[in-house]
Chains A and B, each alone.
Chain A
Amino acid sequence: MNLKLKALTKSLWVFHAACSPCNNCDIEILDLLTPRYDVERFGITLAASIRHADVLLVTGVPNYKTKERLKRLYQQAPKPCLVVAVGSCACGRVCFKDSYNSPCAVDEVVPVSAYIPGCPPKPEAIIAGILKLIKSLKI
């Protein structure tokens, strides 16, 4: 495993893209930054601009407008950039899959590297998902 990848896994800067979620997932993600979970222990911080990001974190079901924005966000991110889908919505659209304003799932727009299901997933589940993602990078 090379040095570049090792550094990447030790300092993931996350850009949070909310593609029309119900906001519960977003609250759980913010929980990760609070004293109880504190992901800064692992070097994970929220980045303000997509140009600084290593991880594009998507929540919610993309609709006709956010679909285009999501695609452009991924194109604007400097590579290597991982995509993590948080929540059942982002993983597979669940009960919204026949909705009139839901054209596609997240993984039909951008290549998703990790799915974290749950409605909303617990902060522990999100941390476990990210750890699995890091492990899969190392192989």
Chain B
Amino acid sequence: MIKLLFNYLIFPGFLFSAVIGFLAGWLERKISARIQWRKGPPWYQNFVDFLKLLGKETIVPQGAKLTFLLSPFMGLLSVILVSTILGLSIRLPLESFMGDLIVVLYLLVIPAIALIVGASSSGNPLASIGASREMKLVLAYELPFILSVITAVIKSGGAIQLGLILNHQLSFGSNIISLSGVIAFIVAIICLQAKLGLVPFDVSEAEQEIMAGTLIEYSGLPLAIFKLTKAILLYTIPVLLIVLFLGKDLSPAFLVAKYIGILLVIILIKNTNPRLRIDQTLKFFWGSATILAIVAVILALWGY
């Protein structure tokens, strides 16, 4: 029991992933700044932002008390659970439970749902635009994302257990070293961008058109929780991709190198692309991304 709590709250869970997530968020801001030839914030910036938000007044819109305040926590708790499961399955691959991949996939949708619920309960018209965009975005990227995860599952012999997928990659090489693996990985990276709400697909939070959209009415503590959720997502989803596609050598040095590599790719995509409209996003994900993912699944079934 104590061990479980420790896992959930401290080591692979809450504290650890929050620290890594904030540092990764700093890396994102710093590299973006360097790309734009600026200096960028100091390394502790995200921690300070979080601390400051905790000290601010929390304003709750009329008639929205419970859902408005609870939805950020819903998102946070589910992301912590995901990071715990992932961290444990990397450390002790044999102890993972049957079907935890499916649990992880479901839990990863909950932060988006929490955002939608919170935004709609605030009653702000711009927030409701943001919520409807977020909803369409979830519908758009889930299909290609799950197809690319299925490719990884097929490549590792039909195992839907993170530990088994890792073990299979240990003995037969990473999933990415094959044609289908490469295609599925590319699709997964693009979906990652949408899941994290980064630039080409950040319509739901578009600062310039709808003023932070879904987050517009949030202030103080709930806003801090949403920022924290975003930071932890920035840690968990790349790690999930590493487990699924790059699982050959997971000693700490390699793990960190792979994580930073994926982070760099995300940041470069973010800094070199303009924002897509929601209809373009939908067309992109249900068109080319899904077709690519289906091709990857078929290739994987043929054994390429």
Residues in A lying within 8 Å of B, measured CB to CB: 3-4, 7-8, 10-11, 34-35, 38, 40-41, 43, 47-49, 51-52, 54, 76, 78-80
Smallest CB gap from A10: residue in B: B48
Complex Cα distance, B52 from A8, in Å, reads 5
B302 is an interface residue with CB less than 8 A from chain A: no
* Contact indicator B48/A43 (Cβ below 8 Å): yes
* Contact indicator A40/B29 (Cβ below 8 Å): yes
Q: A7-B55, A52-B223 are in contact. Are A38 and B216 (CB under 8 A)?
A: no
The 5 closest A-B pairs by CB, nearest first: A4-B55, A48-B212, A7-B52, A48-B207, A7-B51
Give the interface segment out of B37-45, B91-99, B136-144, B243-251. Answer: B37-45
Residues on A with C-beta less than 8 A from B42 are 41, 43
Complex Cα distance, B219 from A51, in Å, reads 5
- A3-B51, A38-B38, A47-B212 given; name 5 further pairs at CB < 8 Å: A10-B52, A38-B33, A40-B41, A41-B41, A52-B212
Set B37, B45, B215: member contacting A52, Cβ < 8 A: B215
Q: A40-B33, A48-B207, A80-B56 are in contact. Are A11 and B48 (CB under 8 A)?
A: yes
Residues on B with C-beta less than 8 A from A47 are 212
Q: A35-B37, A40-B33, A43-B45 are in contact. Are A49 and B211 (CB under 8 A)?
A: yes
Complex Cα distance, B219 from A4, in Å, reads 15
* Contact indicator A35/B36 (Cβ below 8 Å): yes
Complex Cα distance, B61 from A49, in Å, reads 14
* Contact indicator A43/B29 (Cβ below 8 Å): no
Residues on A with C-beta less than 8 A from B208 are 48
| Contacts between the two chains (Cβ within 8 Å), count | 79
A-B residue pairs in contact (CB < 8 Å), sample of 23: A3-B51, A7-B48, A7-B51, A7-B52, A7-B55, A8-B55, A10-B45, A10-B48, A11-B45, A11-B48, A34-B38, A35-B38, A38-B33, A41-B42, A43-B41, A43-B45, A43-B49, A47-B212, A51-B59, A51-B223, A52-B219, A52-B223, A80-B57
* Contact indicator B40/A40 (Cβ below 8 Å): yes
Q: Tell which of A3, A8, A40, A80 has the most Cβ of chain B within 10 Å.
A: A40
Q: Output the least CB separation between A30 and chain B (Å).
A: 13
Residues on A with C-beta less than 8 A from B207 are 48
Complex Cα distance, B48 from A47, in Å, reads 16
Complex Cα distance, B34 from A35, in Å, reads 9
Residues on A with C-beta less than 8 A from B200 are none
Complex Cα distance, B207 from A54, in Å, reads 17
Smallest CB gap from A4: residue in B: B55
Q: A10-B48, A41-B40, A43-B48 are in contact. Are A54 and B56 (CB under 8 A)?
A: yes
Residues on B with C-beta less than 8 A from A34 are 38
Residues on A with C-beta less than 8 A from B37 are 35
Complex Cα distance, B223 from A17, in Å, reads 22
Q: Output the least CB separation between A133 and chain B (Å).
A: 15
* Contact indicator B220/A49 (Cβ below 8 Å): no
Complex Cα distance, B220 from A54, in Å, reads 11
Q: Tell which of B207, B216, B219 has the most Cβ of chain A within 10 Å.
A: B219
* Contact indicator B220/A41 (Cβ below 8 Å): no
Residues on A with C-beta less than 8 A from B218 are 51-52
Complex Cα distance, B97 from A136, in Å, reads 57
Residues on A with C-beta less than 8 A from B49 are 7, 11, 43
List CB contacts (< 8 Å) of B14-71 with chain A.
29, 33, 36-42, 45, 48-49, 51-52, 54-59
* Contact indicator A40/B59 (Cβ below 8 Å): no
Residues on A with C-beta less than 8 A from B211 are 48-49
